[in-house]
Amino acid sequence: METRKQQLLRRHRRGKRLFMLAALLVLAALDWFGSWNSLPVLLVLAWIAHEAWFADHLFYSPREDYRYDFPESARSMPGELREGRLRLNTASLAESADTLILDVEIHSTWLGRWLDPHVLIRDAQYRDRQDFERGLRGRRYLNLSGLLPALRDGRLQLSGRFCRLLPEVRLHAFANPDYAARRVMVIAPHADDAELAAFGLYSRCAHACIVTLTQGEIEARNYRRMGLDKASAARLKGRLRSWSSLAVPLWGGVPATQCVQLGYYCMQLAPMAAEPDKAFASLESGDADIRSVRRFNPLTLPGDRDGVPSWNNLVGDLAALLERCRPEVVVLPHPELDPHPDHVQASRALVEAVERSGWRPGVQLLYANHLYDNDRWPMGPAGNGVPLPPRLEPLPADGLWSPLLSESARMDKAQALAMQHDLQGPLPFRRRLRRMIQWLLAGRRWPEFGQDEFFRKAVRRHELFWVRSTSDRGPRAH
């Protein structure tokens, strides 16, 4: 079944092809009737312009407002930007307010239609940059987490580059406990999801376990270059990524004895959920026994009895892990925000596992490694802050927690990503050429520690989680 994001991407590409065909016909007509004799040059220039300014996958208008609802527990207060300084009455702002989100309207300048508009946030010791869509005109949400002292002292300065900020603003403040001090279980649909979303969190945990649901074996084209057939390449990729899911967390202080690889097959969780008793083999390797990558697991699970890749086995495995680890906090993909089919089903599997096990974690921390509408979020260079993602319809009114990562933690996170086999492949030639064009014409920059786009998107000043308390039915963590 085609996912919503695949539908949007297909519609985007179809519209782009129709536009390019119409433009080609117009250029050909001008060349023929106007005797320009320059059609090849015009085509090359048009392609360069496309790669520089129109290649982003943006499935909404940048002139629309982002829309968020926040829970009643969030402290909200009006303020204003005056001569570049943020003015707020912070007397009622608690010292425990660790996550600060500024609601501000931003308008792009004419240069901001060609160069990425961004907001510079600074005080005497701190400098951040948060980027937005070209041509934007609407409400956006800046992340000021970690800047409470500067905010209280009136030292915080905000300025727009290739955009301007309207003076009326509203601050939303959230107070959270340090969830890293609790028993944490990170649910990763694929190897690297835990590192992308929560390396900074789990590397500070005294009690963390990481559960990876799938081998992530499909799309193994790079491995076929070694002379392997499709099935063998997928099998090798699955083994390598499964090994990464157990070994890489050690870099963040989580030993392999606290990591589990369940070994189900990539892009098969949704079909499994639809037919819980049925086995679903790998789409590319053809394997149908999840025990092939479980031999390094530190414990025996219900699915080890028959190795069947079924939904019932997946839920049984998660239920057994909940009973064994008894996490107070579970970290997993946001079911309404992250569109990857395996990520969506991870949330459903947890719900069923909680019902089967009887152990109810007190808090869910929800993350998004993918979006429906914008493939570049968080936008802008690596190392900067993480504003709230584009959202045109409000999500459930969950709280927010956005812990700050130190410079050394960001470097460790970058190296953890560099150890992931799926993020090590070389960029295709066209993508490398596109980056060069965007570097020259659009001023974009990419980090030195990795070529994959996730090195730019995930190695940031903040990590961002939506905080969702579980219901009170059944036993739960406190």
Closest by CA position to 66, among listed 140, 156, 161: 140
Pairing of strands 163-175, 127-131: unpaired
Domain finish residue from 114, 147, 175: 175
Domain match, 352 and 221 both: yes
CB 37 within 8 A of CB 31: yes
Q: Is residue 63 part of a domain?
A: no
Domain match, 36 and 166 both: no
Domain match, 327 and 204 both: yes
Domain finish residue from 175, 210, 226: 175
CATH of the domain at 84: 2.60.120
Q: Is residue 61 part of a domain?
A: no
Closest by CA position to 382, among listed 419, 345, 407: 407
Domain match, 44 and 102 both: no
Residue 366 burial (CB < 10 Å; 0-12/13-18/19+)? buried
> Distance between CA atoms of 296 and 245, rounded to whole angstroms?
11
What 3-state class would DSSP assign to 333? Answer: strand
For residue 470, give both structure tokens.
Answer: 């579980």
Domain match, 170 and 202 both: no
Domain match, 435 and 297 both: yes
Domain match, 288 and 148 both: no
**pLDDT for the residue numbered 94:** 83
How far, in Å, are 62, 73, 129 from residue 297 at the CA level? Answer: 46, 41, 42
Q: Is residue 388 part of a domain?
A: no
Size (the chain), residues: 478
Q: What are phi and psi of 352, to 5 degrees?
A: -70, -35
> Distance between CA atoms of 368 and 201, rounded to whole angstroms?
15
Q: What is the CA radius of gyration of the chain?
A: 24
Closest by CA position to 465, among listed 74, 179, 144: 179
Cis bond upstream, residue 378 (ω within 30):
yes
DSSP states of 114-125 = TS--EEEEE-SS
Containing domain of residue 258, as a range?
Answer: 179-370+406-459
Query: Angle formed by the axes of helices 341-357 and 311-325, to 10°?
Result: 60
Q: Is residue 392 part of a domain?
A: no
Domain match, 454 and 343 both: yes
> Distance between CA atoms of 247 and 75, rounded to whole angstroms?
41
What 3-state class would DSSP assign to 260? Answer: strand
Domain match, 144 and 221 both: no
**pLDDT for the residue numbered 12:** 54
Exposed e or buried b for every residue in 288-327, given b needs 16+ CB within 10 A? eebebbbeebeeebebbeebbbbbbbbbbbbbbbbeebeb
Domain match, 23 and 80 both: no
Closest by CA position to 269, among listed 313, 223, 207, 221: 313
> Distance between CA atoms of 423 and 450, rounded to whole angstroms?
8
In the chain, how many domains are there? 3
Q: Is residue 97 part of a domain?
A: yes
Domain match, 419 and 351 both: yes
Closest by CA position to 267, among listed 375, 341, 204, 338: 341
Q: Is residue 204 part of a domain?
A: yes
What are the mean pLDDT values of the chain's consecutive 10-residue runs (478 residues total)? Answer: 54 61 65 61 79 88 96 94 90 88 98 96 89 97 95 92 97 97 98 98 97 96 93 97 97 97 98 98 97 95 98 98 97 96 97 95 97 93 97 95 97 97 89 94 93 97 96 44
Q: Is residue 33 part of a domain?
A: yes
Q: Is residue 381 part of a domain?
A: no
Domain match, 358 and 422 both: yes
DSSP character for 110?
S
